[in-house]
Amino acid sequence: MDLRDQWNRLLPHAQPLGEDLLARYAESHRHYHDQRHLSEMLTTIDELAAVADDADTVRLAAWFHDAIYDPQAEPGENEEVSAQLAELELAAYGVDADKVAEIGRLIRLTARHDCEPDDANGAVLCDADLRILSLDAERYDEYAVGIRAEYEHIPDRDFARGRMTFLQNLAETPLYATSHGREHWEKAAHANLDRELTRWAPKAARPISGLIPMIYLGAALGVVIAASVLLGRGLGAAARWPAAPDESTGFPVWAPIAGTAVAAGLTCAWFRRAQPKLITIPAIAFCAVGVIAIGVCWWRWPATSPGAAMSERWPYLMLGSVALLIAGALLALARRLRLAPPYAVAPPRALGLGVTVVCAGVLAWIMVSAGEPFVQARLETANTVSTTATMPAGVLPVQLDGELAWSREVPATGAIAGTVGGVAELRPDGVVMSDATTGQIRWRYSRADVVDAASNGSRGLLVSSDGRTIAAHLPHGSNRAPSGIDLPTYAVLDADTGDVLTEVHTDGTALAVDRNQLLVAEGKYVVAHGVSNPTHWRTRLQCAVTQGVLLADQAVVVDACGGNGAEVRGLDLTNGELKWDVDLGIQFELSAELDPSTWIGDLVAVPDTREVSGLVWTSDAGGTLHQWSVDVGEGRMLWTTPVPGTPRPRLGTASCDAQLAATHTTIVLVTCRNSTEPGEPQTYDVSAASPADGTPQWHHLLEIPPKLQHPSFPRDGFGLLPDGRVVTLMPQQNGVCSPVMVGTTGVQPRPIIASPDAAKTSERDKVTCDKPAVAVAGGRPIFSDGVRLFAMN
C-alpha cells in the first residue's frame, strides 16, 4: 500500500492535506527525512500496532512529526512547529480535540525520545523514529550519508564533533522503549552506532583514545576502594589513646567489601551502557558525601590535651573523606570524556575491562599506601608539644662552695644529663631543658602518645660528646601504637634551642648521637640515621651489637656473641664499611655463662683524642672487671688493666653496672667492689686512670648504704666534673643528705651551706637521698632526688 492509500485510509476526507504532507516530505533539501523515512516509520508502527493504545493516532503523529524540517533550526524547533501544524490542520478537518492534543504531544516527544514507561503510544512512535538505527548496514550507511547531506552547511570538522556527540549520547542509553524493540533491534542498533563512531573518530587517536575514559574510570574505582579501606581503618580505631578495651572495635571487614561491591556495580553499569544516571548520580553522591565528611572531620578534629593522645581515627577518616571526593570528581571526568568525540570510540571490551581493573588496583594500592605516611605525619604533629628557647643559656662563675644555687620540685623526673643548654630531664612524656644557672625551664618537648619514657633511666637520654645534641627514647605502649603507623621512637633535639632535628622510628636501641647521625643497634645490625644530613647506612655484623660511640669520622661499636666472641670495630661514618677490628676474645678469657649484654660494659671516647676505652667482665679469680683502651686511628689495643673483686653485673641489688666517663686527662671508673648480702652496706670503687697508658691516678673506696644499692646507681648517681673529680649525693652519719666529692684529695662530703635566704635553707632541709641522680651542666653539679631538682655552687 503506497503512502497516499495509507493516508486516505486514515483520513479519507482530507486528501488535500495528505497531498500537502507528501509534498513536504519530497522537498529537495531532505536526503533522509523524506518519504522513505515516513514509509519505514509507518511499517514499524504496523509491526508494533498491538502495543499502542491507539495505533491510528500514532500513525497520524508519524505523518506530521517531520512535516516541517529545517536542518538549520535550533534543537526541538522543528518538532514544535510540526506539532503546531498538526494541531491546526487536524482541528480544521474536524478531528476530535483530544486526539489532536495527543498527536501534538507525540510529535513533541520525538525531539528527545524520552517517553515515560507507561506511555504506550509514545513508545511505539519513538521506536519507529529510531528504527533506522537497527536496519541492515547498507541502509544504515545510506541514512548516515543522508544526514551529512542535510547538514552540508556545517564544516566537516564541526559536523564530525557534533555527530559523534549525538551518536555517543544514543550509545550510552537503551535505544528502544518497547520490549519488542529491546529484544530484536537493540543489539543491531548499537553495532551500527559503534561502526559509525569508529568512522568519525580522529584517525590518529583511534587505537588508544577510547582507553582514556577507561583509565579515569579505573582511577575512580580504585579511589573508591581505597576510600572504603581508609574509612574502615578510621571507624575501627579508638578516638583517643590510651583506649579502653571496648573503645576500639577493630578493622570492620565490611567496609572494603562494600567499597569493592560499589566499584563492581559501577563497572557493570559502564560496560553495559546503562542509563547515564547510573554513573552520574554516584559521582554526585561521592562528591557530596566527601564534602560533608570533610566538614565533619574538620569540626570534630580533637584538640591537643595533656595526657590524651589523638589516635589514627580522625586522620584516617579525613583521608578517606578526601578520597571519596576525589573519586566522585574522577568518575564525573570519566563520564564527561566518554561523551567527548575524540574519546568516544569504545575499545574492545576485554581490553577496556583489563585497563580498568589494572588502574583500579594500582590506584587503590597507592592511596592506601600513601595514607599511612599522611596519618603518621598528622599524629606526630597533633601529639607533639615542642617549645624552643628564646634566651641563651645562663653562664655564671661556678665557685663549688657548697651553697644551694637553686631548687624546684619536678613531676616524676627520670634521668638527667648535662648539656650546653643546661640540664635535660627525661620525663614520662618527653624532655625538659632547665637553665643550669637559674633552674628556669628553657624549652620542652613532649608527646602525648608516649608511655613512661622516664622508666628507661639514663639509657633513655643520650647526649653527644660536645653536649649540643640529645636523643630521647619515646616508647609506645601496645594500646597506643596504631597498625601500620611508624610513630617516632627517638627524637633528636638541639640541646641549646630545643629545635627538633629529626624523629626516628626504630625497634632497636640507640647507642650514640651527634649533630650528623643517630647510631642504633638492631640485633646484629648497626644503623646510622641521618640527623642534619641525609646519610643513612645499615651494616650487618657477626654478633649482637651492645655498645657504640661516635667520633668525627668513625662509629666504634662492640658486637658480642655467647661464649668467647667479641669484637671492637671501627666503621666508616659515610657508608658503614669496616675500617678495622680488635678481637676482645684474644685479649681476655670471656665468660660463656652470661649474656653478652651483661659482660660487655660501657664504651666511652676520650675527648679530643683518637682513643676509645671500654669495659669487659671475665670470670677470672671469681669475677674480674677489665678496662681496655683502643687507638681508633691505628685500630690496635693500647692497654688493658684489671679491676679485681668486682661482682658479676645484673645479680640483683648486690651488683651494679659499672660506669665509665672521661675528660681530656683522666678516665674515671665507678663500680662495685664486693658482693654483699641484701641489707648490708656495699663498697664502691671510684678510680681514675691516665688515658695514655692506664696508669692509676687515684683510687678511693666509698661505702654505699643499702637503700642506694641498685644496678644502675653507678651510672645515674655519679657525675664527672670538668676537673676530673666525681660528685655524688649520699646520706651522712647525721642523716643529712649532702653532695660528696671524690678526687685526688680523697672522699669529701660537701654539706649544703646554710644561706641567709630562708627559702633556700628550707629547700636545703628537704633534700633527700631516696633516688639520687647527678649531672654536670656548665661546670655546675645538678642533682635530683626523685621529687626535686637542685644545683650547687
Q: Which domain, by its residues, includes 189? A: 3-205
Please give the Cα distance from 541 to 578 (Å, whole number).
10
pLDDT range class, residue 562, cuts 50, 70, 90 = low
The DSSP H or E segment spanning 758 is helix 758-766
Residue with cell string 568518575: 331
Residue 204, pLDDT score: 44
Q: Which of 158, 185, 205 is a domain's end point?
A: 205
Are residues 134 and 225 located together in one domain of the fold?
no
Grid look-up 561491591 returns 261
pLDDT the model gives residue 24: 92
**Domain end: 385, 405, 422, which one?**
385
Residues 288 and 391 in one domain: no
Residue 510 has pLDDT above 60, yes or no: yes
Is a pLDDT exceeding 70 seen at residue 662? Answer: yes
SS3 label, residue 368: helix
Residue-level pLDDT at 753 = 72
Which H/E stretch holds residue 522? Answer: strand 517-522
**Least confident among 374-388, 414-428, 623-637, 717-731:** 374-388
Indicate the Cα dihedral angle 645, 650, 654, 658, nearest 10°: 50
- State residue 40's pLDDT score: 92
* Single-letter residue type at 132: I
List Cβ neighbours of 761 (8 Å cut-off, separation of 6 or more). Answer: 754, 755
Distance CA 728, CA 730 (A): 7
Q: List pLDDT tens digits, range 409-425.
A: 877 667 889 999 999 99
Q: Examine the domain organization and report whether 286 and 399 are in the same domain.
A: no
At 602, which helix (H) or strand (E)? strand 600-605
Q: What do you get for the CA distance between the two ends of the chain, in Å?
A: 125
What is the per-residue pLDDT for 672? 82
Are 289 and 187 within one domain? Answer: no
Arithmetic mean of pLDDT, 288-313? 82
Select from 159, 187, 205 the last residue of a domain.
205
- Say how far apart CA 513 and CA 506 lie, in whole Å: 14
**Residue 762, pLDDT score:** 56
**Closest by Cα among 250, 226, 208, 534 to 347:** 208
Q: Is the pLDDT of residue 293 over 50?
A: yes
| Residue 303 CB neighbour total at 10 angstroms | 7
203 has a pLDDT exceeding 60: no
Residues 547 and 450 in one domain: yes
pLDDT at 207 over 60: no
In this model, does residue 674 exceed pLDDT 80?
no
Q: Is the pLDDT of residue 758 over 50?
A: no
> What is residue 403's DSSP assignment?
B
Alpha helices in 151-244 (DSSP H): 156-171, 179-184, 186-200, 206-209, 211-236
With the C-alpha atoms ordered 765, 715, 610, 692, is the resulting torsion angle positive or negative?
positive
pLDDT in tens, 137-178: 899 889 888 988 988 888 877 787 788 778 777 777 788 999
List beta partners, residue 616: 600, 626
Evaluate whether 508 touches 523 at the Cβ level (below 8 Å).
Answer: yes
Residue 263's contacts (CB-CB under 8 Å, 6 or more residues apart) are: 221, 222, 224, 225, 360
Are residues 393 and 378 located together in one domain of the fold?
A: no
Q: How confident is residue 749, by pLDDT bands cut at 50, 70 and 90? A: confident
Answer yes or no: is pLDDT of 397 > 60.
Answer: no
**Domain identity same for 231 and 174:** no
pTM value surpassing 0.85: no
Query: Does 489 score more than 50 pLDDT?
Result: yes
CATH number where 536 lies = 2.130.10.10
CATH number (domain holding residue 73):
1.10.3210
**Residue for cell digits 519505514?**
40
- Looking at residues 644-670, what average pLDDT do you find? 77
Q: Is the pLDDT of residue 218 over 70?
A: yes
Q: How far apart are CA 442 and CA 420, in angstroms?
A: 12
- 97-109 and 55-64 helices, crossing angle to 10°: 60
Alpha-carbon distances, residue 689 vs 623, 656, 667, 719 (angstroms): 21, 20, 5, 16
At 729 the pLDDT is 85
Q: For residue 472, what are the β-bridge partners?
A: 461, 491
Is the domain of 189 the same as that of 320?
no
| Distances in whole angstroms, Cα of residue 95 to Cα of each of 45, 55, 98, 119 | 21, 15, 9, 22
Listed residue (332, 334, 356, 353) closest to 343, CA to CA: 334
User: Are 368 and 393 part of one and the same domain?
Assistant: no
At position 305, the amino acid (one-letter code) is: S
| DSSP H helical ranges for 310-389 | 313-339, 349-383
Q: Please determine, for residue 620, whether its predicted confidence score (pLDDT) is greater than 80.
A: no
Question: Mean pLDDT in the chain?
Answer: 84
pLDDT for 370:
87
Mean pLDDT of 291-308: 81
pLDDT for residue 761 is more than 60: no
User: Cell for 723?
Assistant: 676537673
Count of other CB atoms within 10 angstroms of residue 20: 13
pLDDT higher than 80, residue 539: yes
HSE-up of residue 524 (Cα within 13 Å, Cβ side): 7
CA distance 39 to 139: 14
Domain count, the chain: 3
Of residues 532, 522, 519, the one with CA closest to residue 576? 519
Looking at 48-131, list the stretches that DSSP marks H as alpha helix, in order from N- to C-terminal side: 55-64, 77-92, 97-109, 120-129
Looking at the structure, tell me whether residues 402 and 381 fall in a common domain. Answer: no
Higher-pLDDT residue of 519 and 163 is 519
The H or E element that residue 309 is part of is strand 309-310
DSSP string, 524-588: TEEEEEESSS---EEEE-SSEEEEEEE-SSEEEEEEE-SSS-EEEEEEETTT--EEEEEEHHHHS
Write the pLDDT tens digit of every residue in 1-14: 688 888 989 898 89
375 and 425 housed in the same domain? no
Given a cut of 90, whether residue 383 has pLDDT beyond it is: no
Say if residue 613 is in the same domain as residue 731: yes
